[in-house]
Amino acid sequence: MDSDERFTAFVREHTQALLRTAYLLTRNAGEAEELVQDTLAWLYPRWQQVELAEHQLAYVRKAVVNRYLAGRRRLSATEVHFDTSWERASDRPVDRDRTAEVDDRIALWAKLGELSERQRAALVLRFFHDLPDDEVAGVLDCRVGTVRSLISRALSTLRVAGDFADDAVSSQYLRNVT
């Protein structure tokens, strides 16, 4: 299998995971697709370097986060774009009124958009990908203390802004968004 075939196989296998990460960062399905596509196009000529990495998916995920932080288009903090195209329908019958949960998700989604890109990236990597602080620090190219500070400030902002508890901004919430 040559390098082009390995690149194609990687893209087929990991695009959905990369899109979920990009969606949580950009908060917009179209921008997420563009971010992933731009990152993969940027990495394609350097694919042999990616193949030398111990964890290729982590390497590409880091590239997605870095390209996002390096200046991707940012939604205005006043705009709320709640893209439901990625919502998953439940196969279970609804046994209770989930209106309050939906309202909380919409409010939290809007507040996530008000966080800085680095704070949002730290939350996505920590809670969605369940990465430990030292790995988040590696992706964001900063110290572990900085990661903890970013996450702490982000959670504090979310708590003050909407009375959200820590468990509201958990991997469960972030997994349900995508």
Question: What's 127's domain CATH number?
Answer: 1.10.10.10
- The pLDDT, as a whole number, for residue 49 is 92
What local confidence, expressed as pLDDT, does residue 93 receive?
A: 52
CA distances from 95 to 61, 99, 106, 139, 173 (A): 38, 12, 21, 41, 20
Q: What separation, in Å, do the N-terminal and C-terminal C-alpha atoms of the chain show?
A: 33
Domain count, the chain: 2
62 in a structural domain: yes
Q: Is the pTM of this model over 0.75?
A: no
Domain that holds residue 108: 100-177
Give pLDDT, residue 97.
65
**Position with higher pLDDT, 22 vs 97:** 22
Tell me, yes or no, whether 82 lies in a domain: no
Q: Which of 51, 69, 87 is the last residue of a domain?
A: 69
pLDDT tens by residue, 47-104: 999 999 999 999 999 999 999 998 644 444 444 454 444 444 444 555 566 677 777 7
CATH number where 11 lies: 1.10.1740
User: Quick one: CA torsion of 79, 83, 84, 88, rounded to 10 degrees?
Assistant: -120
> Which stretches does DSSP call E strand in 8-67?
none
Better pLDDT: 133 or 174: 133
Asked if residue 60 belongs to a domain, the reply is yes
Q: φ and ψ at 88, to 5 degrees?
A: -105, 130
- Predicted pLDDT of residue 90: 45
**Tokens representing 112?**
């996530």
Q: In the predicted model, what is the mean pLDDT of the chain? A: 80
Instruction: Name the amino acid, one letter, at 62.
Output: K
Give residue-wise pLDDT tens across range 125-140. Answer: 998 888 999 999 999 9
Average pLDDT over residues 26-36: 93
- Give me the pLDDT at residue 158, please: 79
Lookup result for tokens 């990625």: 86
Domain edge (last residue) among 46, 69, 92: 69
* Predicted local distance difference test score (pLDDT) of residue 3: 85
Would you say residue 121 has pLDDT above 70? yes
Whether residue 117 lies inside any domain: the answer is yes
What radius of gyration, in Å, describes the C-alpha atoms of the chain? 17
Question: CA-to-CA distance for 101 and 103, rounded, in angstroms?
Answer: 5
pLDDT tens per residue across span 141-157: 999 999 999 999 988 88
Assign 42 a pLDDT band (cuts: 50, 70, 90).
very high
Amino acid at residue number 174 = L
The better pLDDT of the pair 82, 24 is held by 24
User: pLDDT at residue 34 above 90?
Assistant: yes
Q: Are residues 107 and 53 in the same domain?
A: no
